[in-house]
Amino acid sequence: MDKIELQKLIGKRIVELRTQKGLSQSDLARACNKDRQSIERMENGKVSPSIYSLYEISVALEVPMEELIAYKS
């Protein structure tokens, strides 16, 4: 797996968890103190989120960080 594939997998997982919680990108962005476009870029796999960004998202989604980066084949 290369970097781009991993970014896309993490982005997809963020979308899944966010929608399960009934949150919009704007809701998640506010909870993480980020702008909506940053969340959108992460979800689309266009950026590699920092470990701290993943931590902030996991706190906002109330899930362990491992759930954001767990690889599911």
* pLDDT for residue 71 is more than 80: no
pTM confidence score: 0.91
Extents of the domains making up the chain: 3-67
Contacts of 58 (CB under 8 A, 6+ apart): 64, 65, 67, 68
Query: Of the CATH numbers 1.10.260.40, 1.20.1250.20, 3.40.50.720, 1.20.910.10, which one belongs to the domain with range 3-67?
Result: 1.10.260.40
Instruction: Give CA separation, 57 vs 1, 4, 24, 39, 70, in Å.
Output: 23, 20, 13, 9, 14
pLDDT, tens only, 51-69? 999 999 999 999 999 988 8
